[in-house]
Amino acid sequence: MELLIQLIADYGLGFVFVNVLALQLGAPVPAYPMLMVTGALAARGEQNVAALLGTAVAACLIADITWYVIGRWMGRRVLRVLCQISLSPDGCVRQTESIFTRFGPASLMVAKFVPGFASVATAMAGALHIRRRPFVLFDAVGAALWVGVGLALGWLFAPAIDSIVDTLAQLGRWGLMLVLGAIALFIAAKWWQRYRFNQQLRMARLSAPALIELIDSGQRPLIVDVRAQIARDEGRIPGAIAGLDDASPPELAGHPKDALIVVYCACPNDASAVIAARKLLERGFRNVRPLAGGIDAWVAAGRALEVS
């Protein structure tokens, strides 16, 4: 344990860079404890706070620009990959779309403070083709704020952090086990959160070919698009009605309770569609199905989108 503490004291910049870079690339590891410890070291004069800030911000920018470039290359497909890597609930995609719709690139200034938003915001900025200059500007400001708060907390509570570090050093091997156990518990909690969320997503779905067959045979199920407005503007399944956000769509008022309703989104595991479908079931509709694969499956089946 003493060796670990000495390594942090001697190589704080390297530790901070690797830790922050791993987190921002999607690894389920905490970074604020490291920022606070090095902030406390800076308060004692053992680290340069400006160097710590610059190093951590650089790590953030490297990771964020990487996801931005991948997002521009892969489009929305990158969000499925990112949600799986980060262990974040897939519903974060819908949340991120909504925030981008409301605040645009400026939302990147607070993205790292919002659970579930930071993990996909940079990739979505690329997928939505946000211009590079405002992306880098707002992302750099957001990274500086996020890192600065972590270092400031360490500086402010330096005496308490020093006491904790000294106690862990005195515990020796047991202190190291406590630190490793805390990290393992954090990762396990994130995994359990995702596992429970995925369990909630278990629901019978309707495939895109089956929906196409129904439409081609003359049947017209009510189709509900629960994506954010910024995504709906790019095109929707013909005849689909918009979302289930704040108010109930008027088309639902007279819809028979037993008639088929198909709900779709564009997020990993059809997360937003399943959540919306369950809400409809709770309201008494008995034949509600999420569209398997969402709008991507519709396009993959060779069907055109409607742009209003």
CA 72 from centroid of its chain's CA atoms: 17
How much of the chain, in percent, has pLDDT values that exceed 90?
Answer: 24
Residue 225, SS3 per DSSP? strand
* Amino acid identity, position 292: A
- Please tell me the predicted confidence (pLDDT) of residue 80: 66
pTM across the whole model = 0.65
Question: In this predicted model, what pLDDT tens digit does every residue of 124-152 receive, in sequence order?
Answer: 888 888 899 999 999 999 999 999 999 99
72 Rama sector, left if φ>0, alpha if ψ -120 to 50, beta otherwise: alpha
Question: In this predicted model, what pLDDT tens digit does every residue of 184-210 receive, in sequence order?
Answer: 787 777 667 666 656 656 778 999 999
- Please tell me the predicted confidence (pLDDT) of residue 140: 96
- Distance separating alpha carbons of residues 138 and 218, to the nearest angstrom: 49
Higher pLDDT, 147 or 38: 147
Structure token pair of residue 178: 């406590």
Domains of the chain, CATH where assigned: 2-200 (no CATH), 208-300 (3.40.250.10)
Structure token pair of residue 48: 């340069």
- Distance separating alpha carbons of residues 205 and 208, to the nearest angstrom: 10
- pLDDT band for position 111 (50/70/90)? confident
Q: What is the DSSP string of 202-262?
A: ----B-HHHHHHHHHTT---EEEE-S-HHHHTT-B-TTPEE--SSS--GGGTT--TTS-EE
Residue 206, SS3 per DSSP? strand
Q: Which helix (H) or strand (E) holds 264?
A: strand 261-264
pLDDT at 270 over 50: yes
